[in-house]
Amino acid sequence: MDFPRPKSLLRRAGEASLIASAAFALAPAPVLAPGLSPLAIALIVAFLILSLGIHEAAHAWVAWRCGDSTAKDLGRMTLNPIAHIDPWMTIIIPGLLAAMGGPIFGGAKPVPVSYHRLRHPLRDMALVALAGPASNFLIAIVFAVAWKLCLGRAGYEPESLMVQVLLYSMFANIMLTAFNLLPIPPLDGSRVMTWLLPASLRPGYQALERFGILIVFLALYLPPVRRALNEMQRSILDVIDALTSVIA
């Protein structure tokens, strides 16, 4: 069984707004699928919040393994999403924007990392950053497996609540993976880019972070960025399809 290629999903995903982990990611907002029931939307959002908690915990765990226990000491190395919620950026602002029918922009509480406590600061910052998108990639695989099992062996209809929730939750985590890998400060991909850049270019690149939120938001409206993001999502989807093909 092949994954469907719902181009409208990927296109609308590129037009959705931001829900953040330590950096930012695209949200499976109701605008993605106006036909979804309120229960389906609530479950998808619940799974998204849980995924964000895992994303944050992954950052904290890798930082701890690399020598920095700051996040662990502050109780952020937990799968409990409540520990990662910022009342304004995670709940109030996205809720108001959703009620107004506009793009949903928000953020989770960033995981604190003490750069100089890491054993190999530059490299370890890149590893800490990669942990978040990697966790969402693995979560997307879990949802993909469950989705295929429901459609294939369990015989659920494509329009059933469970199948829709699993499909959109998978796409949400694919979006989290792809978006956070963009090399735009302060996204996770920028930490990897900082590590890879020549030392002479790092200060100027890192200075962009002070305008990071604005740059990220504006970048989403640039056709090249949106095309790149959509291609990344499609590539991740293809990899997941290949990895889970044994289930079909």
Q: Residue 21: its pLDDT value, please?
A: 38
Q: Residue 103: its pLDDT value, please?
A: 55
**Residue 32: what are its φ and ψ, rounded to 5°?**
-65, -35
Q: Which of 137, 126, 227, 142 is nearest to 175 (CA)?
A: 137
Query: What value does the CA radius of gyration of the chain take, rounded to a whole number of Å?
Result: 18
Q: Residue 12: its pLDDT value, please?
A: 31
Assigned token pair, 58? 């992954």
Helix (H) or strand (E) holding 26: strand 25-26
| In the chain, domain spans | 13-247
In angstroms, what CA-CA distances link 163 with 4, 33, 43, 156, 158? 13, 14, 12, 7, 6
Cα-to-chain-centroid distance, residue 45: 13
**Count of CB atoms situated within 10 Å of the CB of 79:** 12
Q: Residue 110: its pLDDT value, please?
A: 82
pLDDT of residue 7 exceeding 60, the answer is no
Q: Residue 248: its pLDDT value, please?
A: 61
Q: How far apart are CA 179 and CA 137, in angstroms?
A: 12
- What value does the mean pLDDT take over residues 170-177? 92
User: What is this structure's pTM?
Assistant: 0.84
Percentage of the chain exceeding pLDDT 90: 49
Q: How far apart are CA 30 and CA 51, in angstroms?
A: 18
Per-position DSSP letters for 77-102, written without gaps between them: SSS-GGGG--IIIIIIHHHHHHHTTS
Active site residue 56: yes
User: Which one of 15, 56, 157, 231 is the catalytic residue?
Assistant: 56
Q: Residue 104: its pLDDT value, please?
A: 61
pLDDT of residue 71 exceeding 50, the answer is yes
Mean per-residue pLDDT of the chain: 82
Q: pLDDT band at 34, cuts 50/70/90?
A: low
**Cβ contact 83:75 at 8 Å:** yes
In angstroms, what CA-CA distances link 228 with 99, 171, 234, 239? 30, 16, 10, 17
